[in-house]
Chains A and B, each alone.
Chain A
């Protein structure tokens, strides 16, 4: 069983963290992953930076740009992570846009992920139908979970289709926004969280976008299995460097 599936069977709410690999400094990646695990984080999304991150707000755009300026890229990330499984045992997911993976070669990318011990991928601009037709067999061959997004605008019918081709979990985008919104959750979100919970999908849902503190984490996980924090953690890194990661995590739960 894939580490993601194992983790999701645990009787607890999942707290997952996203950060841009190579940020704030090129060689911080491994240390940040290790510190996050020590701080009790359940799963990590390692952002592979891209020049044109369409779904990201200013915070993640800026950390991606810095990471690229630092020299981050697919080859370097794989090199940094080659021994990661000697020290880290929680699920690791690479999150990035499709073009860098396409240039690396989708099969080569998947093979490398499997070799290192990456458990899954999140590729916001790889549509589910293209994945199902062209790439699912490759992901399956390497035992990788590909995670899909749903949003408040996604129809029930499409959610069921996405659920049917997914394994692991469904990434539930909290609201109609790019990453890094800090408006908090109101009744619209609560209705949406409830609506999705009532669909009784086969895959658990993890909420992302707009989770930035203990309160939004609690709201998001009232109905869902877990939540992902990205921009708020990157802001913490920006202000505190890669020290004090434990403080950030403690403040969330």
Chain B
């Protein structure tokens, strides 16, 4: 079975491009061009060089000795938190800004929830001298003031999404409406492995540098390319997609996906889409999403803004349906404890998104000889206030 996208833009029954006709010319142009552009030697050279000199790749694969001792297994952390701007998001924005330039676009739009993708987009727009407009829910703007300031410092315009629940889902709607209103000169940099085809595949390919590096780094450290398990958190799923990509067709590698259970899967305050979602259409693709019986998209909840999305990328919906990936869901409390544990044991303050992945160590028993790679998607600086509030520091 293939876990990659097929020619029509689907992963099994998931994916496709369910978009209004107004978006068709842009999405179709991208569909026809993205593989061609990204395969060109000059593109590859520029992408690789920026990842190396600007982002700071390869990100280390760090053997977490004390964490390994505690859980009696061999744990490696893939340090995406050490990238420029503090998370994996920049891998994708570098790739897409180069595609946008190739397509002759002059204006960049993006959506953001917590602000990490917004900052990563504002950063590459500053780097390339392109106009940048970031849509952010009005409520998120209030919750994430430091990232709003960072985007402004980087020269971006931050526009508040005032519709619906005024969070990530609505910021995405507003970005799509902007693209409808500006069909010629604008490229939309989607931040997660979601949206109409070819976005999920394009984002996955740009993020796949994560698993590509894990392979050779593990070969150096363990004498083998394949770990026994790779673990990543999933909101829309861009970090997970990149972490899994080169292991999808290696059956000996166990794939573990960790969603946000929020206050509990059945608490009514959760973002555990694989458990609560049904097949439907969100933001241009067919996937699993949280919705009412009548098909209205519902508002998710997680303490982690990066996992607070009512859908999941179509690749991951397929991994869930086929059983290729094992899905866990972790509550706010358990994630926060796991994050704090990493601080104390390894001297690393993780993003709360990444803390969800770490919390699986308490839910699943690994063998002492297992090699377990956990993707540390981002650093926790942005989450200090949440940590402070949660633990009353």
Measured CB to CB, the residues of A under 8 A from B are 50-55, 57-58, 61, 65, 68, 73-75, 97-104, 124-128, 130, 148-151, 153-155, 158, 173, 176-178
Contact = CB atoms under 8 A, between A and B. Distances in A.
Contact of B25 (A148, A154, A177): A154
Contacts, number: 111
B295 A58 contact: no
Contacts of B169: 52
B183 interface: yes
Interface string B279-320: 111111000000101111110000000000000000000000
Given A52-B164, A52-B282, A103-B291, A176 B182 contact: yes
A57 B297 CA distance: 18
A206 B18 CA distance: 23
Nearest to A175: B181
Contacts of A125: 18-20, 281, 284
Instruction: In the A-B complex, list the 3 residue pairs whose CB atoms are closest, starting with the nearest.
Output: A103-B295, A100-B295, A73-B294
Contact of A154 (B24, B177, B282): B24
A1 B358 CA distance: 63
A73 B173 CA distance: 21
Contacts of A150: 21
B18 A126 contact: yes
A50 B142 CA distance: 26
A112 to B, nearest CB: 14
- Interface footprint category on B: 35 or more
B182 A104 contact: no
Contacts of A103: 278, 280, 291, 293-295
30 contacts: A50-B296, A51-B296, A51-B297, A52-B164, A54-B176, A68-B296, A75-B294, A99-B280, A99-B297, A100-B295, A100-B296, A103-B295, A104-B295, A124-B21, A125-B18, A125-B284, A127-B16, A127-B19, A130-B18, A149-B22, A151-B21, A153-B22, A153-B25, A154-B21, A154-B24, A173-B21, A173-B22, A176-B22, A176-B182, A176-B183
Interface string B180-220: 11111000000000000000000000000000000000000
A54 B23 CA distance: 10
B281 A102 contact: yes
A177 B181 contact: yes
Contacts of A61: 163-164
Contact of A58 (B24, B163, B291): B163
B180 A99 contact: no
Contacts of A104: 294-295
Interface string B150-183: 0000000000000110000110010011001111
Nearest to B163: A61
Interface string B12-55: 00001111111011000000000000000000000000000000
Contacts of A128: 21
A54 B173 contact: yes
Contacts of B298: 51
Contact of B180 (A75, A102, A127, A176): A176
